């Protein structure tokens, strides 16, 4: 699968795993040698053990969420993605983005990593749900406070209107995995 700088492939091919292991082990060796002033061959083994036994975070990929007009966010697990903890950033789940309302920040096909929570700070990108025609729609938007206690959702793409009321936040975006284009 092709990759672009900063992107992650969900495939766990041998070369990727070997590269990750080598890179992370080197970082740990450097930390032990430089920051802790340790020497000797035991630090290489310790670094390798540390890298090998760090369990990756396995996040469920749930439904799709709109970055546009709104698409039903089905709460079924479509797949899972395994990521190193430092990349997962405390995420609870991942969502595929559909639409262009968050362009150029987030594009259709990108995967957002989301930490489940009901509150967010000004200007954070959130996953919000709306009641619409008897169902729930989910959307990825930027939360803005127009006045104290008066929140609204905005798109980064100026062609879309602001959503002033009637939404609930279900999580904040903590990381973005870019789809190769």
26 lies in the same domain as 96:
no
Structural domains counted in the chain? 2
What pLDDT, on a 0 to 100 scale, did the predictor assign at position 166?
Answer: 86
What pLDDT, on a 0 to 100 scale, did the predictor assign at position 34?
Answer: 66
Question: Looking at the domain assignment, is residue 164 inside a domain?
Answer: yes
Question: Looking at the domain assignment, is residue 27 inside a domain?
Answer: yes
Mean pLDDT of 77-105: 86
20 lies in the same domain as 98:
no
H or E segment and range at residue 94:
strand 93-98
Query: What CATH number did the domain enclosing 106 receive?
Result: 2.10.109.10
Structural domain span for residue 96: 57-177
18 lies in the same domain as 33:
yes
What pLDDT, on a 0 to 100 scale, did the predictor assign at position 138?
Answer: 82
81 lies in the same domain as 34:
no
Which residues does the annotation mark as catalytic?
101, 141
41 lies in the same domain as 64:
no
Rounded (5°) CA angle 97-103-104: 125
pTM tops 0.85, yes or no: no
Quickly count: other Cβ atoms within 10 Å of residue 105's Cβ. Answer: 16
């Amino acid at each position: 699968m092709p990759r672009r700088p900063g992107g992650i492939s969900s495939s766990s091919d041998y070369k990727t795993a070997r590269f990750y292991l080598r890179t992370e082990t080197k970082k740990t060796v450097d930390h032990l040698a430089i920051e802790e002033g340790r020497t000797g061959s035991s630090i290489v083994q310790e670094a390798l053990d540390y890298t090998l036994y760090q369990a990756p975070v396995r996040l469920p990929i749930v439904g799709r969420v709109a970055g546009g007009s709104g698409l039903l966010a089905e709460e079924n697990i479509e797949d899972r993605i395994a990521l190193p903890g430092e990349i997962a950033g405390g995420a609870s789940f991942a969502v595929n983005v559909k639409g262009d309302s968050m362009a150029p920040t987030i594009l259709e096909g990108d995967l957002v990593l989301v930490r489940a929570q009901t509150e967010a700070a000004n200007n954070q990108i959130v996953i919000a749900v709306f009641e619409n025609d008897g169902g729930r729609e989910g959307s990825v938007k930027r939360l803005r406070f127009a006045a104290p206690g008066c929140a609204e959702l905005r798109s980064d793409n100026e062609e879309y209107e602001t959503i002033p009321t009637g939404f609930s936040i279900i999580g904040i975006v903590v990381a973005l995995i870019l789809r190769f284009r």
